[in-house]
Chain A
Amino acid sequence: MEIVINFFASIDAEVPELPSIGNLIDKIFHGAPWASFIHHWSSLLTSVFVGIAIASLFWIGSRSKNLIPTGLQNALEWFLENFETAICDILGPRGKKYVPLLATLFIYILAMNWLTLIPLMKPPSSNVNITAGLAICVFCLVQYQNIRNYGFFGFLYHMAGSPKDILGWVMSPLMFCIELLTQFTRPVTLAFRLFGNVAGEDILIGAFALFGVLLIQDLNIPFGLPLQIPFLFLAMLTGLMQALVFTLLSTIYILLSMPEEDH
């Protein structure tokens, strides 16, 4: 285990990173306790900022409830209607009650991923603690749904592969172990995939920005070639894709926690 930790520690020292507000504050006010606090908790503070920004946007959009919507209200209603249709396609009519959670997850992750497009902002989803928090929320909801729908012992029976004959009962301990592993793998997969993709994209953009600066450093001009711009478009695409995949997989996990006749 020590080898793995040392490996990641050695990578961390060499990762090209774009300047962000947290880093700059720490560099300018180095040593001040508040500056190191902001630097240390920058991902969490940025994610709270994103949450407040999204909540404000939706509050402004839903303030005027016109029968014929225009402007921001129209855009938000269009998005929510389409999203609700997509979720209900997968979960059926009972999926309507999960739309608020899943839509929040989608918009929140998308906004966090796209934060990389704003200069001096570091996407919070490139920190594994943030993505793990989101994945744990989904995991807890799915387990709660499982126990509510099947009952505690019914859920254990379901985990053991719902054995009906003697062969089924013989195989049930093995099936139980496999299913237990599957259940615990899901949040880990969700968290690491989102973190890995966004962090990788962030490092790629950082590397090309650094390359653009190094390429013309002999000219002594205070800026570099914007070589990272094509990768910002790629970041937009992967950011959207990752938000979509996180939401879709959460939807599938909720679907699998419903009784068999529902899916």
Chain B
Amino acid sequence: MSKDELKQIGVFATIPFVMAIPPALGWIIGRFLDEHLGTKPFCLYLFIILGFVAGLKEVYRLIKRYGNSD
């Protein structure tokens, strides 16, 4: 196994966390905003969706950086 493959395994093993944590963070922020702005439940949904998009964007960056170029 080459060094690059080891790096790939390490970085790609992190993808589940990168996908899961942004929506969770979005949920916390959305709930906080809903409670303070009285917009229940719109901010919650909005930030969860934004979290999903942010997670996907981060995964795209990781794959772009560490995926095989050929």
Contact = CB atoms under 8 A, between A and B. Distances in A.
Interface of A: 86, 174, 177-179, 181-182, 184-186, 188-189, 192-193, 196, 241, 244-245, 248-249, 252, 255-256
Contact of A244 (B6, B26, B54): B6
Interface string B1-24: 001001101110110011001100
A188 B3 CA distance: 27
Contacts of A185: 18, 21-22, 25, 51, 54-55, 58
A248 B11 contact: yes
Given A178-B53, A192-B21, 8 more contacts: A182-B22, A185-B55, A241-B10, A244-B7, A245-B14, A248-B11, A249-B14, A252-B62
A245 B13 contact: yes
Interface of B: 3, 6-7, 9-11, 13-14, 17-18, 21-22, 25-26, 29, 47, 50-51, 53-55, 57-58, 61-62, 65
Contacts, number: 63
Given A178-B54, A245-B11, A249-B14, A184 B25 contact: yes
A189 B21 contact: yes
A177 B26 CA distance: 10
B51 A193 contact: no
